[in-house]
Amino acid sequence: MGLLDKVKETAQKGADLAKDGVKAGQDKLDEQKLKKKVSDLKEELGGVVYAQRSGATTAGLDPEVEIARIVAELNAAVAELPDEDTSVASDESGESAGP
């Protein structure tokens, strides 16, 4: 194997590592976006429940329908998270946020 072949092989390994790094970075970014979506949905859910409990619901808006919609979106987003991140679906007491 000549010197040029070794240089080509090393360059290819470097390119493969760079591609892997970009993929890992994109995966991490996607995971962070999902975590943000889960957080936003939880905040929205809290607002709807608070409005329902305090009697300040918007006219024409059924809180039960909104709660069901938000919970369905939350479940879908949590299902997309990697297994090690299921703690996002738990509340502070350690209980599962699911049904």
Total domains in the chain come to 1
Query: Looking at the domain assignment, is residue 44 inside a domain?
Result: yes
Query: Looking at the domain assignment, is residue 94 inside a domain?
Result: no
Query: Looking at the domain assignment, is residue 27 inside a domain?
Result: yes
Query: Looking at the domain assignment, is residue 95 inside a domain?
Result: no
Quick one: pLDDT at residue 1? Answer: 64
Cβ–Cβ under 8 Å, residues 34 and 80: yes
Quick one: pLDDT at residue 84? Answer: 61
Q: Which long-range contacts (CB under 8 A, 24 or more apart) does 70-75 make?
A: 70/41, 70/44, 70/45, 71/45, 71/99, 73/41, 74/38, 74/41, 74/42, 74/45
Length of the chain: 99
Query: Looking at the domain assignment, is residue 99 inside a domain?
Result: no
Query: Looking at the domain assignment, is residue 98 inside a domain?
Result: no
Give the model confidence (pLDDT) of 26-85 as tens digits: 889 999 999 999 999 999 999 999 988 888 877 778 889 999 999 999 999 999 888 764
Quick one: pLDDT at residue 58? Answer: 74
Q: What is the mean pLDDT of residues 20-25?
A: 89
Domain range for 45 = 3-89
86 CB contacts (<8 Å, ≥6 apart)? 78
CA–CA separation, 52 and 68 (whole Å): 13
pLDDT band at 3 (very low <50, low <70, confident <90, very high): confident
